[in-house]
Each structure stands twice: as C-alpha cells, then as structure tokens.
Structure 1
Amino acid sequence: MTCPVCSAALEERRIGSSPILYCPSCTAHVTHPSLRRGDDASFYAKDYTLTQTVRSSTERHRYFRYPEYYKLLGELSALQPPPGRWLDIGCDHGFFIDEVRRNGYDVAGVEPSQRARAYARHIGLDVEADVANVQGRWSVISMWHVLEHIGEPRAMIDRCIELLEPGGILCIRVPDFASAWRHVFGARWIWYQPGVHLVHYTDRALRQLVESSGLTVELVRRQHPNTLLTRRSYGLSTTVFRRYASLPSPSSRDRIARLYQDVTGAEIFIVARKRQTSS
C-alpha cells in the first residue's frame, strides 16, 4: 500500500494495540484498512456530523464558537477581502458560513450529512451534498477538519484547485498528529479516530500535499483552536440558553469531554494560494 500524500511505500506500526500505516517519506500516518468505517459515503450521509462527536448540535454551539469564527474571519479576510465567493466544504450545520455571509461574501457549502444539510438550508444557505456538484469559481475554499476523513486527499485538493479562481485561497485545518498531546495519550487522544479519520497529518505532510499540487503556501501554523476565550464563551452561552431558552445544562460527561477537547485538541492550519496565471 502506498502513501496517499506522496505515493511512497508505507510501513506498518502500532499505536497502543491499534495497527497503523506510516510513511517514512512525508511522515503522514494512514489508518489500517481493518479499522476503517468512514469509507462509505452513506455513513456520513446518515450517521455523522462534526458536532455530534462531542456535544449535541444546537444553536448554543453556534454562539459559543463565535470567538473562533471571528478569529478565522479576521485573519482570512485580510488575505482575501470581501466581496468574494466563499465555499465551505464540510460545512456541518452552516454556522460558520452563515457568519461569513454576514461579513460580505457570497457563500455556499458542501455537507454530506442529510440532517446537517437540511438545517443549513433551513437558515437560507446553498448547500450541496457532494463537491462534485459545485459549480463556478471561488475566492476562498475552506475545509475545517474534513481532509482527514478523505482516503484520497490529492483528488480533493485537485478538485479545490479546479474550483478556485486565480489568486484564490484554500484554507485547511486538520488534527495535528505530531502534537505532544497525541504522543502523551496515544490511541486515547481525542482526535485519533481511526474509524473515520483515514489520513493523519503532520505539518510536514500537509505542506507537502498542498505544495506538490501547485499551490503556494502563505501560512502554516500548529495551534490549539480552543482558547480561554472560547471556554468563557462556552460557559456564557450555556448559561444564557439554560436561563432564557429553557435548555438543559450540559451533562457532567459532556462538560468533561468539552474540557478534554479544549486541553488536548491540537491542529494544523494552512492557507495556500492558487497562482494568478493558473487556469
């Protein structure tokens, strides 16, 4: 079996009792075929949404993520200012691109989950089930914690390049498989999910994937998406929705899961630009 990032031969290793394939050339890791359950598109269509993995998907989720959304918007709008067209692949319930729309962009999304897609359409967003159905050229394409779910990432990057206008930017966030927390927790790390995460990236592997596709990397950063500000926002939104919308408080289990993700969740953030002369 060869590496989906660089096509080098893979070596078999283990994380705890779990087999995993490792690329000594680009440092990507690939989920062993025996552990996969996210290869089937119907799994994402019916059973999986991003927010489902840690907490229930409600409007409360939208509000407590505001600090994260506006940090991303501030940084990316400086690189590619509005007006423009913004496509979010894996948009979940559409909370992020709804904020993008409020900030001067024409937006659309791609979301395989039927339930999440229906919600996004309910709030007035144009959302397709598959990136193959997307038309036109886009100023910005974002993929937040999507690429790790794709067994053939190069094909997805190539499709994004087709959809980008010359000078447009591709923005990707994925779990950081080289993070200290991943090494500490091993197979128990919160973002090691071999059933649905098919390719596991280091910053070196992700950069190689993007650059070898012909894009120019403008920013690459290892970071923790959950900060003190997002934790405060989570607490405030929980209080407001409990008091004024009669929603139940998160369970103790949910609070612990939230804290665990805040502390141990580490990701890679990369922004790359399509050349002005590209077709």
Structure 2
Amino acid sequence: MFRDIPNFDLATAMRSLYQTDAYYVTVPAGKSEAGDDTYWTKSVDPDGNIRDRFAERDQYVNNIRPELEFIAQLSPGRVLDIGCGPGWLLSALNPDWERHGVELSAAAAEHAAQYGNIFVGPFEDADFASGMFDLIVMYHVIEHLPDPVVALGRALALLQPGGLLILGTPDFDSGCARRFGNRYRMLHDPTHISLFSNDSMHRCLRATGFHIDRVEYPYFDTQWFDRENLLRMLESDATSPPFYGNFMTFYCSRGDN
C-alpha cells in the first residue's frame, strides 16, 4: 500500500533540506487524522494490516524499553507526554512521577486519564506554567504537527533549567528511505505531515535551544529485526520493511545548563 501525494518525490524533497535553511518538508495530510478516534482503532499499517492501538500496550512498552530504562535512572519529578495516546508510556513510569499528558483524541485521552492528568486538545492550547516540567516526551509526535518548530519552542519553555526532552521521529532520509523513495513505509501514514531528516532534526533542535546529549536508532533490539525484514530490503518495488535508521530518538537537555 502506498500513500499517493501528488507531484511529490521523497528523494527530491529530502535533498532540498541540504540546499536550504528549512528543517522539514511539509506534505498534505491524508484522510485519517491523528485526533480522529479511528486512528487508534482502525488504522491500516504500511503492510495493509488493520491495527487496534488500544490493544498494543505490551508491544508499545517493549518498543520504548530503552527510553523507559533511561527515565528509570532519573529522580522522579513532573513529566509531560505530548501526544500521549492511550497513556502507555505514562502507565509504565514509576508512580512517584507526577504524570501529565496532552492528547487530541478524546477516546485515547479518556483511556490515558487513568495514568495521569490529561489535557484534551492541541498542545498549543494547553495551559502549563513555564518551567513546570523536569522531563518532556515527544515520542513520534513531531511529524504529525503542522508547526513543529513552534511546538519545540513551547516544550523548551515548559522545561525547568536542567530539564530533559526525549524526542522520537522517523528519518525520512534514512538509507531505507533513499532506497525505496515514495515506497518508504514511514511515508505511508497519512498523518505524517512534517518530514525531517537526521541532519535537519539535529539543526532544528539546536536552533530551538536544546543540547543534544545523544541519539539512538532503535532496531536491533526490536521485534522488527528478523530475517524476513532483512530479505525485504532486496524488494525495491514493494513497501519498505522496518530497518535500521528508520527511527531516531534524541535525548536532549535545555541548552542553558
């Protein structure tokens, strides 16, 4: 299954990020919206499988195991999960954390409310005090936002001095993306509208005021690392498989430390 974006070529779009000061490429949203409850119950993955994200807690928590292990080393404080969905990350945290979330979907937010204080609506409408949080998580959210630079600036302002940001997003210029072009699986999601490369995400975070402490590329310790997906890398006329470099996770701190 492929997402049809008229007059769009992924390789050309990503190349433009090296030729301009832009941080991301904007593409129009498809029919499904991240705030639409069907996104959580009846979305279709790049391989054509219907997903019920409400039933995927164990898989989700396993996929974010490195992030959870990092958080477990921190002293509990206030945490904000932007785009918290059904609250799976919040549910896996030490209960000593004061847990907050932001979520567009009313159904997902209702489910997440059992794990923390959830604001239902756009992040920019949430009334949080400056410097309120010790940790902010934006895990595969920024690619859904129409103005990610503004969102990052707001996140920075909400962190207290010494506060941390964990941000995960696809790399739309990964080796896999370059091989498969418009058949790249991360392009399939109709709610992915702001497309970053590894280089442009680095530039964007630094320009916003974050210090990048480290970057990880989760794959080898996930369920996607198997023989079948490795062999699928040879099938350039099909949807790309999960592969190393598709996802990147940035661990950042406020640049005023």
Q: Call closer, same or farther: CA 1:92–1:53 in 2, change over 3 Å.
A: farther
Matched letter for residue 184 of structure 1: R
Deviations 1:74-109 (A, max 9, x none): 12343xx1221110001110011111144x311111
Distance, in Å, in 2 between the alignment partners of 1:56 and 1:164 is 33
Percent pairwise identity: 22
> Which structure's residues are more often helix, by fraction?
1
1:62 to 44, 53, 57: 57
Is this contact kept in 2: 1:225–1:266, CA < 8 A?
Answer: no
Structure 1: state its 5+ residue gaps: 1-11, 232-259
1:45 to 35, 40, 61: 35
Question: Corresponding residue for 2:148?
Answer: 153
After TM superposition, the structure 1 = structure 2 runs for residues 1-279 of structure 1, keeping only pairs within 5 Å, are 14-15=9-10, 20=13, 22-23=16-17, 24-25=19-20, 28-32=23-27, 35-37=28-30, 43-47=33-37, 49=39, 52-54=43-45, 55-59=51-55, 61-78=56-73, 81-102=74-95, 104-121=96-113, 123-129=114-120, 130-131=122-123, 132-136=125-129, 137-193=132-188, 195-224=190-219, 227-228=222-223, 262-263=242-243, 266-275=246-255
Q: Call closer, same or farther: CA 1:198–1:224 in 2, change over 3 Å.
A: same
Per-residue deviation, 1:30: 1.3
Q: CA RMSD in A?
A: 3.2
> What TM-score comes out, normalization by structure 1 length?
0.70
> What TM-score comes out, normalization by structure 2 length?
0.75
Per-residue deviation, 1:163: 0.8
| Greater than 6 Å deviation, 4+ residue runs | none
Distance, in Å, in 1 between the alignment partners of 2:116 and 2:39 is 17
Per-residue deviation, 1:193: 3.5
Is this contact kept in 2: 1:226–1:265, CA < 8 A?
Answer: no
Q: Call closer, same or farther: CA 1:113–1:56 in 2, change over 3 Å.
A: same
Is this contact kept in 1: 2:54–2:86, CA < 8 A?
Answer: no
Structure 2: state its 5+ residue gaps: 1-6, 46-50, 227-239
Distance, in Å, in 2 between the alignment partners of 1:71 and 1:64 is 13
Matched letter for residue 61 of structure 2: Y
Deviations 1:93-150 (A, max 9, x none): 0011111144x311111110111111112x2421112323242410110011111111
Deviations 1:142-192 (A, max 9, x none): 011111111211100111011111110111100011212212222122111
Distance, in Å, in 2 between the alignment partners of 1:66 and 1:91 is 13
Distance, in Å, in 2 between the alignment partners of 1:147 and 1:186 is 21
Q: How many residues align?
A: 227
Matched letter for residue 155 of structure 2: C
3-state DSSP of counterpart to 1:63:
helix
Q: Call closer, same or farther: CA 1:93–1:261 in 2, change over 3 Å.
A: farther
